[in-house]
Structure 1
Amino acid sequence: MLYLQHFGLREPPFSLTPDTGFFYNTSGHREALEVLRVALRSGEGFIKIIGEVGTGKTLLCRKLLNALEGDTWVTAYLPNPLLGVAELYRALADELGIGLPVKATVNDNLKAINSQLIDLARQGRRVVLCIDEVQVMPEKSLEALRLLSNLETEKRKLLQIVLFAQPELEDRLQQPGLRQLRQRLAFSYRLPPLDHQGVSGYVGHRLLVAGHQGGALFAPGALKLLARGSRGIPRLINILCHKAMLSAYGRGESLIGTRHMLAAIRDTDDAQATVWRDYLPWLYALAALIIGLEISALVYLARGGAS
């Protein structure tokens, strides 16, 4: 691609596809992984990871799944939370390699899962189920997850469940019908956005992974605008950086400056609203100053005319 050649890159640095090869070990993601490791080692049934849209929950989930590869762990991943109870149990059975009859009932599925989990426990293996976007999971399916967490031996849980979700899940868990599930969430972590330094480090890291070996591609002013427009959310950072680089490439320029980043922000509603909101106090102050000067000028002219 000419775009990549222009900036000296091997691959697109700001793709929206979660790629663990581009994983940037921010303090937030590092702390989240540590919480997950501690919780899984302790054998807790439920662990909750909360993050706003675009903060890297899916990437963190994939990083965890990769880290759990080996003879000790068996992992299951459900990217689609919009499942009924029967579909949920069947999806988990498929992940665990259980062949189920087409006409198997919910109870049949649960029995087959329990039997497989017991066999894996006898082999000294531990099973972890990761579910993404849990905030949209039906209430009956959330309750079915709680029932899955009841599967245990005298020593430990047979299944540990990690929930990745947007903040809306916390509101849903306050509902009376989900209080038992809420009480079982022993570990929880909320992913924070990146600060200005974190945004600069994130951009530099992704460019390095993508093959960039030259000088800085983003001017300091552009990075400052990026941090403000993206609010430190990795997905928005990717979108804005990609658009800004396209703007610079279209002009035949190799340094991404403030005008390129402003063009990207103007083309991105979510970022545009953030920047304007940050600048509003200054705009109001400037408007007040201009109005004050105009009033003073009118008063001065009026006095001069009277004399």
Structure 2
Amino acid sequence: MYFEHFGLALAPFSIAPDPAFAYPSRAQQEAHAALLQAIGGGDGFVKITGDVGTGKTLACRRLLAALAGQPDCDAVYVQNPCLTPRSLLLAIGVELKLPLRANTSEHRLLTLLDRALLKASAAGRRIVVCLDEAQAMPADAFEVLRRLAARDRDGRAVLQTVLFGQPELDDKLARSDLRPLASRITAQYRLGPLSARETEAYLAHRLRVAGRAADASALFPTAVAALVHRYTRGVPRIVNIVAHKALLLACRDRAAVVGPQHVRDAAADTPHARPATALSRLVAWWQHGRMRHGTPA
């Protein structure tokens, strides 16, 4: 590996979401602020969408970490949403440490959870369920969530749900059978890609966290970072893959910094690494602007 060659202690461009490497991009900061505001305001359903690799899971983990520091909040994380209604209820109940059995019926689970939610609300506690990859959730599981969240106390939902999903989630929620739930979504945000300037700062930030003690920004000079952005379109996951491969190539050549050809060769070896067209940039700008202002795209 290139750790010793470039003075690194950790892998700087792993694609596994790690809050320790989180870069405070505008999109991530706005999404995080929107989530905290919505949850603090008692919103029942919140939605965060974004293309693959734009940082939805990272946004989810940042939220969970923030909620863990709030003594009046219990956060439930559901990583695999491909669950039957009963399995979903059971997963939530287990996280809330309810006295459940493996053979507890769906009706009984609903009753126990409903009681637990009302009890928590009466005690001033908030229950927040975070669902990753929510576009994969079956329609009947969405309906169970809606039924649980239908209760409120003093104008605040007894169960707050945050849906993180790919753009297909919008299509699913537009279905007639899911409109009752979609109508309860009071806050939403669309995660967009990094800008060219953010991509350069993102590369340097991750290198510093990985142990590059000095001149982290020099490892990907401005022109080279701009080339990374051009090929990856600022999608963090693709940035990580291309940057990792570019470092491997630079190390192979015993180069002190990453050069343009290293990036070109890395991009050529990476699926989905291609320059954005003018139309795709326009569509991304339009969608991001509409979702920032709370209007579905």
Residue segments in structure 1 that go unaligned for 5+ positions in a row? 279-307
How is 1:73-92 mapped onto 2 (pairs within 5 angstroms)?
A: 73-92=73-92
Distance in structure 1 (CA, Å) of the matches to 2:260 and 2:115: 60
Distance in structure 2 (CA, Å) of the matches to 1:68 and 1:264: 38
User: What corresponds to 1:287 in structure 2?
Assistant: none
For the residue of structure 2 that corresponds to 1:275, the secondary structure is coil
Cα 1:189–1:246, aligned 2, differ >3 Å: closer, same or farther?
A: same
The one-letter amino acid paired with 2:193 is: P
Q: Is the 8 A contact 1:219 1:258 kept in 2?
A: no
Task: Report whether the alignment pairs 1:173 with 2:173.
Answer: yes
User: What corresponds to 1:66 in structure 2?
Assistant: 65
User: What corresponds to 2:295 in structure 1?
Assistant: none
User: What corresponds to 1:35 in structure 2?
Assistant: 34
How is 1:5-20 mapped onto 2 (pairs within 5 angstroms)?
A: 5-20=4-19
Q: Is the 8 A contact 2:45 2:184 kept in 1?
A: yes
CA RMSD, 1 decimal: 1.4
Task: Report whether the alignment pairs 1:47 with 2:21.
Answer: no
User: Which deviates further from its counterpart, 141-150 or 163-172?
Assistant: 141-150
CA deviation after TM superposition for structure 1 residue 118, in Å:
2.3
TM-score (structure 2 length as normaliser): 0.89
Q: Aligned match of 2:233 in 226, 231, 240?
A: 231
User: What corresponds to 1:266 in structure 2?
Assistant: 268
Overall identity of the aligned pairs, in %? 40
User: What corresponds to 2:259 in structure 1?
Assistant: 257
User: Which deviates further from its counterpart, 101-110 or 40-49?
Assistant: 101-110
CA deviation after TM superposition for structure 1 residue 136, in Å:
1.0
The ranges of structure 1 where at least 4 consecutive aligned residues each deviate by more than 4 angstroms after the TM superposition are none
The one-letter amino acid paired with 2:59 is: L
How is 1:271-290 mapped onto 2 (pairs within 5 angstroms)?
A: 271=273, 274-275=274-275
CA deviation after TM superposition for structure 1 residue 276, in Å:
8.6
User: Which deviates further from its counterpart, 60-69 or 213-222?
Assistant: 213-222
Task: Report whether the alignment pairs 1:96 with 2:102.
Answer: no
CA deviation after TM superposition for structure 1 residue 95, in Å:
1.0
The one-letter amino acid paired with 1:44 is: D
TM-score (structure 1 length as normaliser): 0.86
The one-letter amino acid paired with 1:26 is: S
User: Which deviates further from its counterpart, 112-121 or 165-174?
Assistant: 112-121
CA deviation after TM superposition for structure 1 residue 277, in Å:
5.9
Aligned residues: 275
Q: Is the 8 A contact 1:226 1:261 kept in 2?
A: yes
CA deviation after TM superposition for structure 1 residue 252, in Å:
1.4
Cα 1:118–1:276, aligned 2, differ >3 Å: closer, same or farther?
A: closer
User: What corresponds to 2:136 in structure 1?
Assistant: 136
1:244-278 deviations in Å (ceiling 9; x for gaps): 0001111111210101101100101210xx23968
